[in-house]
Amino acid sequence: MSSLQINEELLQDSDYFTDANRLAEASDYFGFAHRRIILGDGALDLLGDECERLGTDRVFLVRDAGLIALEEPVRQALGAAGKTLVGVYGKVMPNPTVESVTDLAGHIKNADCQAVIALGGGSTIDSAKAACCLATCGGVLPDYFGFDLFDRAAHWPVIAVPTTSGTGAEASRVAVIADTGGKQAIYSDHLTPGVALVDPQLTRSLPAALTAISGLDALGHALECTASKKSNLLGDAVARMALASGCSHLERAIDKGEHDPEARYHMARCALLSGLLLSPINTGAGHALGYGIEKLSAAAGRPVPHGAAVSLVLPGVMRHNAPVAADKYYYTAEVAGLKLAGLSREAGVEMAVVWLDNLRRQHTSFASLRASGLDEKDIPAMAGIALSIRRLMDPNPIELTGEDAERIYRAVLD
Q: Is 145 helix (H, G, I), strand (E, B) or coil?
A: coil
Q: Quick count: other Cβ atoms within 10 Å of Cβ 337?
A: 11
**Helix %, strand %, coil % of the chain (to 5):** 60, 15, 30
Quickly count helices (H) and strands (E) in the chain: 15, 10
When the candidates are 3.40.50.150, 3.30.1490.100, 3.30.70.2520, 3.40.50.1970, the CATH number that belongs to 35-203 is: 3.40.50.1970
Name the DSSP letter for residue 205: T
Q: Which residues pair with 87 in a beta bridge?
A: 60
Q: Quick count: other Cβ atoms within 10 Å of Cβ 78?
A: 21
Does the domain formed by 208-411 have CATH 3.20.20.70?
A: no
Q: Which residues pair with 60 in a beta bridge?
A: 87, 116
Using left for φ > 0, alpha for ψ between -120 and 50, and beta otherwise, residue 172 falls in beta
**In 337-408, where do the E strands start and end?**
none
> What is the domain partition of the chain in residue ranges?
35-203, 208-411
Distance CA 16, CA 366 (A): 37
Please check whether residue 54 is in contact with residue 157, taking contact to mean a CB–CB distance below 8 angstroms.
Answer: yes
CA nearest neighbour of 199 among 33, 73, 114, 308:
73
The pLDDT profile of the chain, 414 residues, written as one tens digit per residue, is 458 999 999 999 899 999 999 999 999 999 999 999 999 999 999 999 999 999 999 999 999 988 899 999 999 999 999 999 999 999 998 889 999 999 999 999 999 999 999 999 999 999 999 999 999 999 999 999 999 999 999 999 999 999 999 999 999 999 999 888 788 999 999 999 999 999 999 999 999 999 999 999 999 999 999 999 999 999 999 999 999 999 999 999 999 988 999 999 999 999 999 999 999 999 999 999 999 999 999 999 999 999 999 999 999 999 999 999 999 999 999 999 999 998 899 999 999 999 999 999 999 999 999 999 999 999 999 999 999 999 999 999 999 999 999 999 999 999
Using left for φ > 0, alpha for ψ between -120 and 50, and beta otherwise, residue 31 falls in left
Provide the pLDDT for residue 2. Answer: 56
Report residue 51: phi and psi, to 5°: -60, -40
